[in-house]
Amino acid sequence: MEFLDTIYFNNPLKQWLIAIAVLVISFIVIKIVLSFVKNRLKKISVRTASQVDDVVVIVLEKTSSLLILILSVFIGSQFISLIPLITTIILNALILVFLIQAAIWGNAIITFYVTDYTNKKRESDAAAATTMSAVSFVGKMALYAGLVIIALDNLGFDITTLIAGLGVGGIAIALAVQNILSDLFASLSIVLDKPFVIGDFIIINEYMGTVEHVGLKTTRIRSLSGEQLVISNNDLLSSRIRNYKRMQERRIVFTIGVIYQTTKAQLEKIPTIIKDIIDKQELARFDRSHFKNFGDFSLNFETVFWVESADYNQYMDIQQSINLKIMAKFQEEKIEFAYPTQVVYVEKTNSVK
């Protein structure tokens, strides 16, 4: 077996074969171990409330085969003598691949916790769910920035000089993308100030709907007719926003008109009739009812009451019930509602011959 002692690149062939065998065995063993641990933890995570095993499963699932391969190459290279340049290249490759893998792991872990927290808080605390979208973005940006700096430092770059250069370049970039940045800062303002949160029903100018998503550049609203409205965050905060979800009670003003032939006694009864009807409604609180003015074709009464609920459908049910009862009571009292009419009076005179 003298050929096994033949020297190739400063190492006997025998050592090369051993290094390759170690590389292959390492790759296979690591893959098998990771797969076994992942499958076991998946079964355990179903039966436990802890999130630690879920996170470990995510980390194992997101582990790249490239990282395992580079790690196996590094292990195999320990059995042969390589020139310093090759050793440095393998080590730097391992570090860079590990940093990329760390970014993948970190992104998956942040997404897992943010999604889990958002799902738990969406019903009970929509504001917290909205805030987590910004926390997710900031966390991922900090993760990527830190890993990039570590990678550049390992590659021999002068980080201090690079950061100073980026500061100057950042001014030029900020001027070029100022619209995007204005939307980004508007997004942070929405998250911190919370003029609305996911699930709120809002009106912006002529647009209205339920907030579905608050993004970094736009907010998505589901309109009453079903389509999705996408509005930039900067435009949104520049507008006047009416948030109906935060309404605790609703003030209602309505007017009815009766004909001019209505008697004084009937007119005096109308405010009392309306008050009695409203007082009998659940979640309704009477405020006032007055003979307001003389209209062109009607005597007008203005009524104000409060609905002790923010639900629009509930308000409409109450208003409908009030209207039906007013109509029935007016028929009973022989009070007629007014409608646009015009009366022409003709004066007849006798001519003298």
Beta bridge partners of 251: 306
Of the candidates 201, 265, 186, 271, the one whose C-alpha atom is nearest the C-alpha of residue 233 is 186
Domain boundary among 243, 263, 294: 243
Tell whether 194 is covered by a domain. yes
Residues 8 and 144 in one domain: yes
| CATH number, domain with residue 210 | 2.30.30.60
Residues 7 and 135 in one domain: yes
Residues 17 and 128 in one domain: yes
Tell whether 345 is covered by a domain. no
Q: What was the pLDDT predicted at 288?
A: 95
Domain boundary among 124, 156, 188: 156
Structurally, the chain folds into a number of domains equal to 3
Tell whether 41 is covered by a domain. yes
Q: Residue 12 burial (CB < 10 Å; 0-12/13-18/19+)?
A: middle
User: Which region, left, alpha or beta, applies to residue 96 given φ > 0 means left and ψ of -120 to 50 means alpha?
Assistant: alpha
Instruction: Label each residue of 258-278 as H, E or C.
Output: ECCCCCHHHHHHHHHHHHHHH
Tell whether 119 is covered by a domain. yes
205-214 pLDDT, tens digit per residue, is 888 899 988 8
Domain boundary among 191, 213, 243: 243
Residues 187 and 318 in one domain: no
| Residue 59: Cβ within 10 Å count | 19
Tell whether 348 is covered by a domain. no
Residues 198 and 96 in one domain: no
| Domain of residue 213, residue span | 179-243
Tell whether 104 is covered by a domain. yes
What's the Cα-to-Cα distance from 330 to each of 272, 319, 334, rounded to whole Å? 12, 16, 6
Residues 12 and 84 in one domain: yes
Residue type for position 277: I
Q: pLDDT digit of tens for each residue in the chain (353 aa)?
A: 566 667 766 778 888 888 899 999 999 999 999 988 888 888 887 777 777 778 888 888 888 888 899 899 888 888 888 888 888 888 888 888 888 888 888 888 888 888 877 777 666 555 556 566 667 777 788 888 888 877 777 777 666 766 665 555 555 555 555 666 677 777 777 777 788 888 888 998 888 899 988 877 888 999 988 899 999 888 888 888 888 888 888 899 999 999 999 999 999 999 999 999 999 999 999 999 999 999 989 999 999 999 998 888 899 999 999 999 999 999 999 999 998 876 676 776 665 54
Contact residues for 22 (Cβ-Cβ < 8 A; gap 6+): 72, 75, 76, 78, 79
User: How is residue 228 written in tokens?
Assistant: 């999705």
55-102 pLDDT, tens digit per residue, is 888 888 888 888 899 899 888 888 888 888 888 888 888 888 888 888
User: How is residue 203 written in tokens?
Assistant: 């009106």
pTM: 0.51
For the chain, the helix, strand and coil percentages under 3-state DSSP, each to the nearest 5: 60, 15, 25
User: How is residue 246 written in tokens?
Assistant: 């935060």
Dihedral in degrees, nearest 10, Cα atoms 288, 293, 297, 302: -20
Residues 148 and 212 in one domain: no
Contact residues for 116 (Cβ-Cβ < 8 A; gap 6+): 51
What is the maximum alpha-carbon separation in the chain? 157
Residues 230 and 148 in one domain: no
Of the candidates 223, 197, 226, the one whose C-alpha atom is nearest the C-alpha of residue 210 is 223
